[in-house]
């Protein structure tokens, strides 16, 4: 299998490497590009950030991504820029120069990662620096001079060399290897997976990457799905918004923010920009985690999941997909093809509680959609993560709300039903009692916010 991509503007081809060889290791060990650092090796610290350029039916994109959890086959047909590939001759990239001018580096370990995240944002015209740099950690300089540098570079021209990467990308063809497969259309993948049902499917590798880096698992054979255009489609249909399983969380965030802004806000807290640029909605759902961030929101929105096996499609309510811990309603050779969110009035609110505000695992996540007509609740849907072995609807709470007047007395009665729906466990993130009381309070929070109370942490910032 020959992987072809651009590296700092030059065409490269890679053969003979394991399909789970990370870009980080290859850059440092095979190419001597030591500016890309290994810190956490799990996509959390940003020291390994690189700029990845791609071009497809959705246009060109210049994205910061974590090289430590990017496998080489994921770069096929793309372009990679490291910190060594930014300067043009003796002239530093504007972001690099701004970091020098504003003293944005001290020990320097984290600096290349910051520079690459800032460069990706600069190339894309994104000036939300608190968001784009949330996935880069600095232990000594502090963030003020780094933010000042990012702001100072905003007006500088973008790099013509980086822009040219999008027009010089290698052609992409289906690649077959002994232990890896990179399909370029849905039909060929569906039939291959039917014949290889034990293969590991990789969308963004933000979860699977840790299986390799931390658990040292041999996950072959693998199929890399990011080159399948049918899985990247977001389309409006008569029955709602259909989201392909290969849609990244950042693309979903942008697509959903006008319909359900609270879902978009939740996605922003899912992980760093680098992680959301790689992670897919299909992967977030298919792994079946009881603390995955998107399933409770999708359940509250009455979403349906479409599964495919060979040429056969079936569609089920998304809450029925989660059968038990580590078990989903998915037969051998069947995969998540898309998710459908039906049209509806936006009544969704999502409340995530975690030790850290950004980029942390949920202790508890409550997502509620409670329509009210003429002062009466109808069609309430509530779902929680972190309260059971799977993401789960709060049926008893819904029954206590539906058909009742929308007032605090109704809410208080419904709060008492939480314990009928859930028997949460205690773990390092929270006790059973904490989870139950907090779940009750989140429902009250929804009501108070609906009455105009300010309940959001970010709303209280000066």
pLDDT tens-place string over residues 369-411: 999 999 999 999 999 999 999 999 999 999 999 999 999 999 9
- Could you tell me the two tokens for 407? 């007032």
CATH code of the domain covering residue 323:
3.30.390.50
Do 146 and 284 have their domain in common?
A: no
Do 158 and 239 have their domain in common?
A: no
Residue 461, pLDDT > 60, answer no
Q: Report, as an integer, the average pLDDT of 127-151.
A: 94
Do 250 and 114 have their domain in common?
A: no
Has residue 339 been placed in a domain? yes
DSSP 373-412: ETTEE-S-EEEEESSSSS-EE-HHHHHHHTTSBSSHHHHH
Has residue 239 been placed in a domain? yes
Burial annotation 35-44 (CB, 10 A radius, 16+ → b, else e): bbbbbbbebb
CA atoms of 149 and 97, how far apart (whole Å): 8
Residue 310, pLDDT > 90, answer yes
Across the strands, what pairs with 43?
Answer: none
The pLDDT tens digits of the residues spanning 211-258 come to 999 999 999 999 999 999 999 999 998 899 999 999 999 999 999 999
Do 144 and 50 have their domain in common?
A: yes
Q: Could you say which of 130, 155, 171 is where a domain stops?
A: 171
Burial annotation 406-443 (CB, 10 A radius, 16+ → b, else e): beeebbeebbebbeebbebeeeebbeeeebbebbbbbb
CATH code of the domain covering residue 24:
3.10.20.30
Do 164 and 239 have their domain in common?
A: no
Has residue 78 been placed in a domain? yes
Q: Report, as an integer, the average pLDDT of 130-159.
A: 94
Closest by alpha carbon to 285, among 252, 239, 312?
A: 252
Has residue 122 been placed in a domain? yes
Mean pLDDT computed over every residue of the chain: 96
Do 135 and 13 have their domain in common?
A: yes
Domain span including residue 286: 233-460
Has residue 212 been placed in a domain? no
Alpha-helix runs per DSSP H in 259-364:
261-268, 273-276, 281-286, 294-300, 318-321
Cis peptide before 221 (omega within 30 of 0): yes
Has residue 408 been placed in a domain? yes
Do 140 and 266 have their domain in common?
A: no
Output the pLDDT for position 364.
97
Which secondary structure element, helix H or strand E, spans residue 100, and what is its range? helix 94-101
Task: State in Å, rounded, how far the first CA of the chain is from the last one.
Answer: 54
Half-sphere CA count of 66, side-chain side, radius 13 A: 34
CA-based Rg of the chain, rounded to a whole angstrom?
23
Model confidence band, residue 457 (pLDDT cutoffs 50, 70, 90): confident
Model confidence band, residue 460 (pLDDT cutoffs 50, 70, 90): low
CA atoms of 165 and 417, how far apart (whole Å): 57
Which of 210-214, 354-358, 419-423 is least confident?
Answer: 354-358
Has residue 260 been placed in a domain? yes
Q: Cβ neighbours of residue 128 under 8 Å, at least 6 residues apart? A: 121
Do 272 and 150 have their domain in common?
A: no
pTM: 0.95
Do 38 and 138 have their domain in common?
A: yes
CA 435 from centroid of its chain's CA atoms: 25
Q: Domain tally for the chain? A: 2
- β-strands 180-182, 222-224: how paired? parallel
Do 284 and 145 have their domain in common?
A: no
Q: Is the dihedral of CA 316, 320, 325, 331 positive or negative?
A: negative
Closest by alpha carbon to 349, among 256, 266, 273?
A: 266
Q: What is the strand order of the sheet 381-385 is part of?
A: 348-353, 364-369, 381-385, 392-393
Closest by alpha carbon to 199, among 171, 180, 214?
A: 180
Q: Could you say which of 117, 143, 171 is where a domain stops?
A: 171
Has residue 308 been placed in a domain? yes
Do 29 and 116 have their domain in common?
A: yes
Do 309 and 397 have their domain in common?
A: yes
Output the pLDDT for position 459.
72
Residue 462, pLDDT > 80, answer no
Q: Could you say which of 171, 191, 206 is where a domain stops?
A: 171
Q: Cβ neighbours of residue 345 under 8 Å, at least 6 residues apart? A: 371
């Amino acid at each position: 299998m020959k992987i072809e991509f651009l590296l700092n503007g030059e065409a490269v081809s890679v053969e003979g490497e394991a399909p789970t060889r990370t870009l980080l290791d290859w850059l440092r060990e095979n190419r001597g590009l030591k500016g890309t650092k290994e810190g956490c090796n799990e996509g959390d610290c940003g020291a390994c950030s690189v700029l990845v350029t791609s071009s497809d039916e959705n246009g060109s994109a210049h994205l910061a991504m974590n090289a430590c959890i990017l496998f080489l086959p994921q770069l096929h047909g793309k372009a990679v820029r490291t910190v060594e590939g930014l300067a043009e001759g003796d002239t530093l990239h504007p972001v690099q120069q701004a970091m020098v001018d504003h003293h944005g580096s001290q020990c320097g370990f984290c600096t290349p990662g910051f520079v690459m995240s800032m460069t990706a944002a600069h190339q894309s015209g994104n000036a939300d620096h608190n968001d784009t740099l949330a996935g880069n950690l600095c232990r000594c300089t502090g963030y003020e001079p780094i933010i000042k540098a990012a702001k100072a570079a905003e007006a500088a021209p973008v790099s013509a060399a980086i822009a040219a990467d999008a027009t010089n990308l290698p052609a992409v063809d289906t690649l077959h290897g002994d232990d890896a497969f990179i399909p370029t259309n849905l039909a060929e993948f569906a039939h291959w997976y039917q014949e290889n049902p034990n293969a590991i499917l990789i969308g963004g590798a933000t979860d699977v990457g840790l299986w390799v880096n931390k658990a040292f698992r041999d996950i072959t054979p693998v199929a890399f799905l990011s080159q399948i255009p049918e899985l990247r489609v977001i389309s409006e249909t008569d029955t709602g918004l259909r989201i392909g399983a290969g849609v990244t969380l950042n693309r979903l965030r942008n697509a959903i923010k006008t319909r359900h802004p609270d879902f978009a806000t939740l996605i922003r807290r899912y992980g760093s920009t680098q992680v959301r640029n790689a992670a897919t909605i299909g992967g977030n759902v298919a792994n079946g985690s009881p603390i995955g961030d998107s399933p409770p929101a999708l359940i509250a929105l009455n979403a349906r999941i479409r599964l495919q096996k060979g040429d056969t499609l079936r569609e089920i309510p998304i809450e029925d997909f989660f059968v038990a811990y580590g078990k989903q309603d998915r037969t051998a050779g069947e995969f998540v093809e898309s998710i459908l969110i039906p049209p509806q009035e936006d009544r969704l609110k999502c409340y995530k509680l975690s030790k850290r505000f950004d980029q942390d695992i949920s202790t508890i996540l409550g997502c509620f959609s409670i329509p009210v007509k003429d002062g009466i609740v109808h069609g309430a849907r509530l779902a929680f993560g972190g309260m059971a072995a799977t993401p789960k609807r709060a049926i008893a709470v819904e029954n206590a709300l539906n058909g009742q007047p929308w007032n605090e007395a109704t809410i208080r009665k419904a709060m008492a039903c939480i314990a009928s729906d859930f028997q949460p466990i205690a773990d390092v993130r929270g006790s059973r009692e904490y989870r139950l009381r907090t779940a009750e309070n989140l429902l009250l929070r929804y009501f108070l916010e609906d009455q105009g109370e300010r309940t959001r942490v970010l709303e209280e910032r000066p």
